[in-house]
Structure 1
């Protein structure tokens, strides 16, 4: 089980490589250095999954897809089109394919954000624009997670 926590400002090097934060490397351990990067379906960011988490996601998708359904086939094609496998090199760096980097307007300065079992990759400027004020996060938490207490009689 993986749990990625924290956000880290990073800079790409001259070749576009990103140093994987040591906190995230500790979560991966030495066994799972294969990663899958894919474009988020809703936001202008990328998701990085450890390969084993990716396999679990695919298992779930496979149970919902009918390969003889045209719409399902189209979804699957585009889902995989926005994905790529990457791995960490000996120096703990990885390279996001250019086509995926362009989809999020990736610049030299980025933010890697741990979100439970995956990591989001953001253009730093877009990330900072989208930071939710605390009171809005509280309102959203109440809406999604809050339960109304039974009224006292």
Structure 2
């Protein structure tokens, strides 16, 4: 997969459809996975393989997934249950269910944010606040 980068302002239509940036449509497969991020700030959108890798990476930070660890089993179950398959239609749009939109407080004005191996869908105001609160300059100082 190519890198997904950039920030794109979009509008959700009344049916919950969202037009993907042309740059993303060129490199993404038609079959995606949409899941709320663990803090319910936004929606995360992955290609199938990248979603599986993301779930595994969460457990790697805890020493790797263990089927004998009840907490990990429950966490993985919740992560997988919240993810839904999503297809890109012929017009380059994805459909977000009412539950998905509610989980990330998405109404009409949204921002699509590329994050290398996946992209995120944010409420426009929430994204602006996130950017304002993030000190990128501290990376180089």
Coarse TM-score class (shorter-chain normalised) = 0.7 to 0.9
Q: CA–CA distance in 2 between the matches of 1:110 and 1:87?
A: 19
1:5 and 2:2 aligned: no
Q: Is the 8 A contact 2:56 2:65 kept in 1?
A: no
1:78 and 2:75 aligned: no
Q: Which residue pairs with 1:150 in the alignment?
A: none
Unpaired stretches in structure 2, ≥5 consecutive residues: none
Q: Scaled by the length of structure 1, what TM-score is found?
A: 0.80
CA deviations 1:90-117 (Å, max 9, x no partner) are 1111111221211111011100000111
Q: Which residue pairs with 1:26 in the alignment?
A: 26
Q: CA–CA distance in 2 between the matches of 1:120 and 1:88?
A: 15
1:37 and 2:34 aligned: yes
Pick the aligned partner of 1:56 from 40, 45, 53.
53
**Runs of 4+ with deviation above 4 angstroms:** 58-63
RMSD in angstroms over aligned alpha carbons? 2.2
Q: Which residue pairs with 2:121 in the alignment?
A: 121
Q: CA–CA distance in 2 between the matches of 1:55 and 1:2?
A: 17
Which structure would you say has the larger Rg?
1
Query: After the TM superposition, which of the residue ranges 96-105 and 51-60 deviates more from structure 2?
Result: 51-60
Q: CA–CA distance in 2 between the matches of 1:12 and 1:75?
A: 30
Q: Scaled by the length of structure 2, what TM-score is found?
A: 0.86
Higher RCO (CA-CA < 8 Å; seq separation 6+): 2
C-alpha deviation, 1:133, in angstroms: 7.0
C-alpha deviation, 1:68, in angstroms: 2.6
Q: CA–CA distance in 1 between the matches of 2:91 and 2:127?
A: 26
Q: CA–CA distance in 2 between the matches of 1:70 and 1:133?
A: 36
CA deviations 1:56-108 (Å, max 9, x no partner) are 33555687222232111111111112211101111111111221211111011
Number of equivalent positions: 138
